[in-house]
Structure 1
Amino acid sequence: MTGARRIALVTGGRRGIGRAIAYALADRGFDVVINDLERDASADETLAGIAERGGKGAFVTGSVSDIDDHERIVSEAWDALGPIACLVNNAGVQTAYRGDMLDVPVESFDRLISVNLRGSYFLTQRIAKRMIAQPVTEPTRPDRSVIFISSGNAVIATQAQADYCISKSGIAMMATLYALRLAEYGIAVHEVRPGIIKTDMTADVFEKYDNWARSGGFPLARWGEPEDVGNTVGVLAAGLLPYSTGHAFHVDGGIHIRRT
């Protein structure tokens, strides 16, 4: 990419899929603000990786679940590197309860909705208003974007993760609605649906899914890597699919394909 580097904000960006997204964006010509709960060694490693790829990096502490703190998070992100051209709603949590959906605790359900759905909705709302206030030269060829990281569980029902599935299916509709609302301002909205990705979040079920992958459960018989998701986000944020908005991109080795 030539010209000035654009600015991206990645929530939940200090490690795992968030780190891979930050690196892919830096490779595509973005400077990257990462947001997460704390700045630790992992966050510093991610910032160093952004710099190695030719980008500027910045860190903003905060939880997307804290709606009252969104103004500070957005203002600090905006001030750190400049106007945000790409928001990646990556921050998310897995269910705290794997079991019968009739026994899902209220606390687990509320936590998932607060982080995965409610937090992303209102953070996007706040950033979208700032984006709209910036001039756009050619709205039919979007040069800004909002990208939601949801899950294959937006459409694949897993009863043992009922609350998680509900939160992710909500993200799918949220992305569709924001795509409709923001198109006239040259802001494309995309949803990325990772499948089984090798991260800390899937460490507790590694053996189960590893056996499934090896036995042909995935059409592309391997674990997904964070870089698979990151590269997809990089392509979308760079505007390489300029006539696409409101679409869901599966990054899952084909798990979502219905087979008989």
Structure 2
Amino acid sequence: MTEKKVALVTGARRGIGRATAYALAAAGFNVLINDRCERREAEETLSGIAKRGGRGEFYEADIADLNSHAPLVGEAYRSFGRLDCLVNNAGVQIAVRGDMLDAPPEEFDRLININLKGTFFLTQEVARRMIAEDPCREGRSIVTITSANAAMVSPEKSLYCISKSALSMVVQLYAVRLAKAGIALFEIRPGLIATDMTAAVHDFYSAQIERGLTPMPRWGTPEDIATAVASLATGALPYSTGHAIDIDGGLLLSRL
């Protein structure tokens, strides 16, 4: 087993996943990145990891395919000999925003299979492998990126809200189950983050931000999320597990 810690980051070819891989590399991790397509973008992420002092590897897989989980996690151990952190970042937004009374079953299945089911069972696979590696080694973590919509109602994207709110419970369940194994679980709830996923609504929410939607009057960046993930992965909160951390510019604060 190498001394350098190892992280697996899903959905890491761009956006929040890429920024997270960079932050972890800068913090001293080697990083296995995963995504389901776009090898060119993945190669760019690998180059950025190397520039920050880490060794990176890429494994192409769709987390919605449960049969891909064991080979994906196995790649971390084949490449690096250990696994210290899983970052569940891969996820999708609703295809078309609209009235929840018109939400189609196939869209429900798509969001649940990727955002919830895929993440649940990948976490299960990682937890089993971590425990098999060492049943009680401290300092390991699983960080799951959910959304402000885990708590904030947005009826025009109801299925996305359902997938993320359920994922919040998954984090708490695994936190209780894995605490004695030295594996800490955390949930990060991003607010309005400027990424490709939010590009279609950028103008709409920019106007809302200008009118005071968020106490901090700006869009969040992938680096804002990445900084939080790296802090947790390096043990910034050693006596904490299962909690949600809002990286949202104050969006979820209750205000009169």
TM over 0.5: yes
> Given that residues 60 and 77 in structure 1 are in contact (C-alpha distance below 8 angstroms), is that contact kept between their aligned partners in structure 2?
no
Q: Counterpart in 2 of 1:14?
A: 13
Q: Note the residue ranges of structure 2 that are not aligned, 5 or more in a row.
A: none
CA distance in structure 2 between the aligned counterparts of 1:9 and 1:113, rounded to whole angstroms: 21
Residue by residue, what CA displacement relative to the aligned partner does 1:14-63 show, whole Å, maximum 9, x if unpaired? 10000011011111111000000124221111101100010000000000
1:106 has 2:101 as partner: no
CA distance in structure 2 between the aligned counterparts of 1:67 and 1:239, rounded to whole angstroms: 30
Aligned partner letter, 2:54: G
Q: 1:207 aligns with which of 203, 212, 217?
A: 203
Q: 2:255 aligns with which of 235, 238, 259?
A: 259
Aligned partner letter, 1:225: T
Q: Counterpart in 1 of 2:72?
A: 73
**Residues 78-93 of structure 1: matches in 2 within 5 Å?**
78-93=77-92
1:143 has 2:142 as partner: no
Q: Note the residue ranges of structure 1 that are not aligned, 5 or more in a row.
A: none
CA distance in structure 2 between the aligned counterparts of 1:43 and 1:69, rounded to whole angstroms: 18
1:239 has 2:238 as partner: no
Query: How far off is 1:136 after superposition?
Result: 5.4
Q: 1:250 aligns with which of 235, 240, 246?
A: 246
- Aligned Cα root-mean-square deviation (Å): 1.2
Query: How far off is 1:4 after superposition?
Result: 2.6
Q: Counterpart in 2 of 1:27?
A: 26
Query: How far off is 1:72 after superposition?
Result: 1.5
Q: In terms of mean alpha carbon deviation, does 230-239 or 66-75 score higher?
A: 66-75
CA distance in structure 2 between the aligned counterparts of 1:241 and 1:136, rounded to whole angstroms: 21
Q: In terms of mean alpha carbon deviation, does 70-79 or 170-179 score higher?
A: 70-79
**Residues 90-169 of structure 1: matches in 2 within 5 Å?**
90-135=89-134, 142-169=138-165
> Given that residues 39 and 61 in structure 1 are in contact (C-alpha distance below 8 angstroms), is that contact kept between their aligned partners in structure 2?
no
Residue by residue, what CA displacement relative to the aligned partner does 1:193-231 show, whole Å, maximum 9, x if unpaired? 000100000000010011111121110000000000000
Percent of aligned pairs sharing the same letter: 53
Q: Counterpart in 1 of 2:176?
A: 180
> Given that residues 35 and 60 in structure 1 are in contact (C-alpha distance below 8 angstroms), is that contact kept between their aligned partners in structure 2?
yes
1:229 has 2:225 as partner: yes
Aligned partner letter, 1:259: R
Aligned residue pair count: 255
| Secondary structure, aligned partner of 1:153 | helix
CA distance in structure 2 between the aligned counterparts of 1:75 and 1:39, rounded to whole angstroms: 22
| Secondary structure, aligned partner of 2:84 | strand
Q: Counterpart in 2 of 1:43?
A: 42
TM-score of the superposed pair, with normalisation by structure 2: 0.97
Residue by residue, what CA displacement relative to the aligned partner does 1:104-162 show, whole Å, maximum 9, x if unpaired? 0111111000000000000110110010112256x6xx300011100000000000000
Query: How far off is 1:80 after superposition?
Result: 1.7
TM-score of the superposed pair, with normalisation by structure 1: 0.96
Aligned partner letter, 1:27: A
CA distance in structure 2 between the aligned counterparts of 1:120 and 1:256, rounded to whole angstroms: 24
> Given that residues 97 and 108 in structure 1 are in contact (C-alpha distance below 8 angstroms), is that contact kept between their aligned partners in structure 2?
no
CA distance in structure 2 between the aligned counterparts of 1:130 and 1:136, rounded to whole angstroms: 10
Query: How far off is 1:12 after superposition?
Result: 0.3
| Secondary structure, aligned partner of 2:30 | strand
Q: Counterpart in 2 of 1:220?
A: 216
Aligned partner letter, 1:60: Y
| Secondary structure, aligned partner of 1:107 | helix
